Structure 1
């Protein structure tokens, strides 16, 4: 049996140690801050599968650590990613309205009710018109999404006509919703969706704006019992999944390439598919709980459409000031792409 000399042993140890250090250097654990509870479908059906996909495509070299509690409130999650406090976050552009004027076009009435088609259309519009806008600097955009049409919900009675909205206090999340409610004679009250229950319970508001799924998933079915449905959505909200750009650049080229295959349009579509599953499920459960659904009247839809026309005209001016070269082309591109994807 051949004996190894000390230099040979030392050389072998150095080689093994170098290999282990190299493997450790390649391994990356990325922190993810999420502001919904771990029982929410965005966590269980979107973030967890995404984390599994990242680990799979990078052969375990990159893993996502979804934190048990958020590192800030919903409105802070863009900055958490941009500043690198968290590596990856998701959130709602609506919570920083004056900052993200370029995204308003997708939050207008009639933006659609098929979330997967909406989300893919939004991603394509972003790539075509917005990816180099300075407002998005500092992050690697992983995905974008919409939620399939927000609707009007009330705690005491059905709302079908403009007259029935007058003086009613509604929670809302952004300037698009605020302008619509004000123009309809309602009283808008700004607050994130996570505060809706306590505000309804305390009588601060009479109703709240949500997609139908949120009434179920934020457990509002007992305090929001009447649901007014607009055929193409009363409003929408734009969402992001973003990663700190410097952290992204520190990943190996091989891992960045692997992850590119599961983000962008692919991740945006996955976002939308989850909402498309949740909406009909929510309608079924809310109906079984005794809640009522009514269609908005032609009068109410016509009033909202007139408000929409004014909003678009004003947004075009604001978007140009915010660095969008051709806002009308952006809006038309989104609408055409959505209609094509939705089969309309």
Structure 2
């Protein structure tokens, strides 16, 4: 016969077992991540998801990250989402807010390189050495920075190799640095996100568009961009961040912060770049196989871009000093030297 006391004892044991089993879940820190690319994009599948998995792994499940099913705001608002704590972790492009991040313009100028892993590692080292205490970056924990290995020039109907080929052509672009570059070459810059490129090309609103080689494929623009002009050191670039709300980071235990520190920083920045380095050669191979024309910019066009680059750097040095960078030229030199060394490894 089961007595009342036995029933109570069994109930107590069961309740204790349930509490023990659910205790780790109850005490876990669940972080939210807002991302603005679709779940099929390689940034999501090959970079963001592995990051969430690594965070859970190194903290033994004490910290987990949930990627939200839809972004909480437009891409340019993602820095503020993290800084204000609307989302715990976000990523985005620094020059979506160009005035806030004047200090980083140099890395989006021409000739920043075509090895994305080396670029991203060099940019991380540059940030740590020169910018970590800059007020523009207050309020967040920087998890990684990244670049994409050199954007190039793409046209829908003709080969573009000389300065004259660029003049008066309407090119979609995404930011103020690209706008200045195109304007200086005599082209007509048209501001629009990459997601609008297909319809703009198909309707004749633009003649060409600025992209990395991989984004021609990943944005499915192969049918409307058939001509690709490659600059050996990159025509332009883009700088990216992965950040966490500063207060949320400070609220983690010392044990978990130490564990996460081991997988972020330069290591995570390198992982960002490696993903782009894998994507671009595959894209070039695919486009070539489909009969696209892929040519190098002529020496005359490269020289024209180099002249514009010198002017852009001179203008940026004054702006960067106004943004709190003590010696912008030293920072630029450090980035270039670091990139060259890392790219040669």
What TM-score do you get using the length of structure 1 for normalisation? 0.94
Report if the CA contact (8 A) 1:29-1:65 is conserved: yes
- Residue 94 (structure 1) aligns with: 95
Q: Determine the structure 2 residue equivalent to 1:277.
A: 278
Partner of 1:204: 205
Q: 2: CA distance between counterparts of 1:256 and 1:319?
A: 32
Alignment of 1:8-47 (within 5 A): 23-47=24-48
The 8 Å contact of residues 172 and 208 in structure 1, kept in 2 or not, is answered as yes
Aligned length: 342
Correspondence for 2:322: 321
Question: Could you say what secondary structure the match of 1:227 adopts?
Answer: strand
- Cα deviations by residue, 1:183-228 (Å, 9 ceiling, x for unpaired): 0000111122222222222222111111111101111111111100
Q: Which residue of 1 aligns with 2:59?
A: 58
Mapped to 1, the partners of 2:216 and 2:189 lie a distance apart of 18
The question of whether the paired residues in 2 share the 8 Å contact of 1:109 and 1:232 is answered with yes
* 1:170 aligned residue: 171
Tell me if the contact between 1:54 and 1:62 (Cα under 8 Å) persists in the aligned partners: yes
Aligned to 2:342: 341
**Structure 1 unaligned spans of 5+:** none
Residue 308 (str. 1) matches residue 309 (str. 2):
yes
Deviation at 1:16, TM superposition (A): 6.9
Give the conservation status (yes or no) of the 8 Å contact 1:94–1:173.
no
Report the Cα offset of residue 26 of structure 1: 2.9
Q: The residue matched to 1:98 in structure 2 has which SS?
A: coil
Number of the residue aligned with 2:298: 297
Map Cα deviations across residues 240-266 of structure 1 (whole Å, 9 max, x no partner).
011111111222221111111000001
TM-score, L = length of structure 2:
0.94
More divergent stretch after superposition (88-97 vs 316-325): 88-97
CA deviations on 1:39-73 (whole Å, 9 max, x unpaired) are 11101111111111111111111111112221121
Q: Which residue of structure 1 lines up, in the alignment, with residue 129 of structure 2?
A: 128
Alpha-carbon shift at residue 165 of structure 1 (Å): 0.6
Mapping of residues 219-238 of structure 1, within 5 Å: 219-238=220-239
Deviations 1:289-310 (A, max 9, x none): 2211010000000000000001
Do the aligned partners of 1:74 and 1:192 also contact (CA within 8 Å) in 2?
Answer: no
Cα RMSD (Å): 2.1
Secondary structure of the structure 1 residue equivalent to 2:70: coil
In structure 2, the residue matched to 1:68 is 69
Q: Per-residue CA shift, 1:289-340, capped at 9, x if unaligned? A: 2211010000000000000001101100000000001100100000000000
Give me the whole-angstrom Cα distance separating, in 1, the residues matched to 2:275 and 2:326.
33
- Report if the CA contact (8 A) 1:114-1:148 is conserved: yes
Measure, in 2, the Cα distance between the counterparts of 1:75 and 1:204. 24
Structure 2 vs 1, CA of residues 246 and 6 (structure 1 numbering), >3 Å: closer, same or farther? farther
For residues 127-276 of structure 1, the aligned pairs below 5 Å read 127-276=128-277
- Give the conservation status (yes or no) of the 8 Å contact 1:108–1:236: yes
CA deviation vs aligned residue, 1:85-115 (integer Å, no higher than 9, x gap)? 1111111112111111001011111000000
